[in-house]
Structure 1
Amino acid sequence: MNLRLTDVTLTYPDGDARLTALDRVCLDVPGGSLAAVTGPSGSGKSSLLAVAGTLITPDSGTVTVAGTDVTALTRAERAVLRRRHIGIVFQQPGLLPSLTAAEQLQVMARIDGRPARSARGRAMELLASVGLAGSAGRRPHQLSGGQRQRVGIARALMNDPAVLLVDEPTSALDRERGAAVVDLLTRLTRERGTATVLVTHDRAHLPAADRVVEVHDGRLRPAADHEAPLPRPARPAPASPDR
């Protein structure tokens, strides 16, 4: 399972001209690895995630998810592929306030037409994997910011995606909880063999990545000070799972 962008160019209308958001971008993320994407605001990071997630079709180039050329599919076919093979973790989890943590996950399976019983079992398994087995019956207002973000990660994994796209998951968290979320993403990437792309402004999280790239003016390049995989820094023992 992998994600591959090849010579991807994306432009937007800008008055009488066009603004180039992505300029011949190439990115290859094998299954089981995590690529961190950094860069200044407005550089093209969000556009890269939108194209990788099949939410936007590029002007040119190809996007391949788990061996399928997404750009050759119809809109309906892309929607099915996205639902079954791509998990997206947003900057804000966007949990439904009336649903428990377990129900947030089960909704994803029901949308895909899976039986309720198997969806419940899958939800409980994933909540346990992110350290929230004891919080399955809690609603969002009963969870901390870090817990809500972990529910969002578990929800993105509900349909066992080949690709996991994560947008600034630690922006609203303190450093300790942010580090715990990135550690969790790294572990789940290895265990589940997903091709994970993490967009982050926080350079403290970059050592967790197998590869670090920067986006500048729509172009992708190796991060100047992180051209090779970095060793993981020592961190204090994690807090209790339901923190």
Structure 2
Amino acid sequence: MAGSAGSAASSLVVEDVTLTYPDGGGRLTALDGVSLEVPGGTMTAVLGPSGSGKSSLLAVAATLVTPDRGRVVLDGVDTGTLSRAEQAALRRRRLGIVFQQPNLLASLTALEQLELMAHVDGRRPSRQVRERARELLAAVGLAGEAGRRPHQMSGGQRQRVGIARALMNAPAVLLVDEPTSALDHERGGAVLELLSRLTRERGTATVLVTHDRARLSVADRVVEMADGCLSSPCRGQSRG
């Protein structure tokens, strides 16, 4: 679905984005005119094999990579008009990212992992910050695990801490990269159901990148990516 960057109802709009990388004497096309609109409170699953361009799409949507052409509108802000410092501030405050591996700090408890996000955003430790962290741990079913460190938790619990951490700064947009790749079927299903519920409850625009076709019923919409294109013919020969 090609989105209009003027749509106030959408928290994420990727509009006609093309991204290329140097490749020997030429250019490799990772994204070829990709457009995607994700309204707040909904989850869009991006399905595709390894190398199809899914990771490039997430990197552009997260403003970590600047596309050759096109634009990204995040929570009503055209990110192409911002400086790199302003983009970083926008990421901290309005964007949450859930990685394949939660990458938790070994020395911190589950509660401290979340409190650290507030610190990175420039907020000092406070009762409000701690209450927010506890509320999110409860929301992901870990109210009783706040004092545990990563080595004391299961893989599914660590991934849920990663989800809670991504929500700590109340993001408008949540980008989720293969969150079930290291989990068994039951735990993976529970994580996806959790993401779907939190998307609706918190009004985030969630993009779920996955290669797993078995559990796509949690998404409001599914689009397929191949050769740098989303559910439509590419303009040219592309790989990504």
After TM superposition, is the score higher than 0.5? Answer: yes
CA shift, 1:173, in A, is 0.4
Query: Does residue 136 of structure 2 align to residue 126 of structure 1?
Result: yes
1:230: which partner in 2? Answer: none
Q: 2:92 aligns with which of 41, 66, 83?
A: 83
Seq. identity, %:
73
Residue 147 of structure 2 corresponds to which residue in structure 1? 137
Match of 2:14 in 1: 5
Unaligned runs of 5+ in 2: 1-9, 233-240
Deviation at 1:203, TM superposition (A): 0.7
> Is 1:16 paired with 2:25?
yes
How far did 1:113 drift?
1.6
Q: Does 1:176 align with 2:183?
A: no
RMSD of aligned Cα (Å): 0.8
TM-score by length of 1: 0.90
Residue 186 of structure 1 is matched in structure 2 by 196
Q: Deviations over 1:54-108 (max 9, x none)?
A: 1111111010001000111110010000000000000000000000000000000
| Matches of 1:110 and 1:34, distance apart in 2 | 28
Residue correspondence of structure 1 range 88-103 to structure 2 within 5 A: 88-103=97-112
The amino acid of 1:65's aligned partner reads L
Q: Of residues 101, 119, 122 in structure 2, which corresponds to 1:110?
A: 119
2:220 to 206, 210, 213: 210
Amino acid at match of 1:140: P
Per mean C-alpha deviation after superposition, the further-off stretch among 88-97 and 201-210 is 201-210
Matches within 5 A, 1:64-75: 64-75=73-84
C-alpha separation in 2, matches of 1:172 and 1:182:
13
Alignment check: 8 A CA contact 1:110 1:119 kept: no
What is the deviation of 1:115? 3.1
Q: SS at the partner of 1:116?
A: coil
State the SS of the aligned residue for 1:40: coil
On the 8 A contact 1:109/1:158 being kept in 2, the answer is yes
In the alignment, what sits opposite 1:62?
Answer: 71
Off by >2 Å, runs of 4+ in structure 1: none
Of the three residues 46, 49, 62, the one matched with 2:58 is 49
* Distance across 1 between alignment mates of 2:172 and 2:158: 23
Q: 2:37 aligns with which of 28, 52, 64?
A: 28
Match of 1:150 in 2: 160
Deviation, structure 1 residue 119: 1.5
Matches of 1:11 and 1:72, distance apart in 2 = 20
Deviations 1:158-177 (A, max 9, x none): 00000000000000000000
Q: What residue ranges of structure 1 are gaps of 5+ in the alignment?
A: 223-243
Aligned length, in residue pairs: 222
> Separation in 2 of the partners of 1:115 and 1:213?
41
Name 2:3's counterpart in structure 1: none
Question: Which shows bigger deviation, 213-222 or 53-62?
Answer: 213-222
CA distance in 2, matches of 1:35, 1:201: 13
User: TM-score normalized by structure 2?
Assistant: 0.91
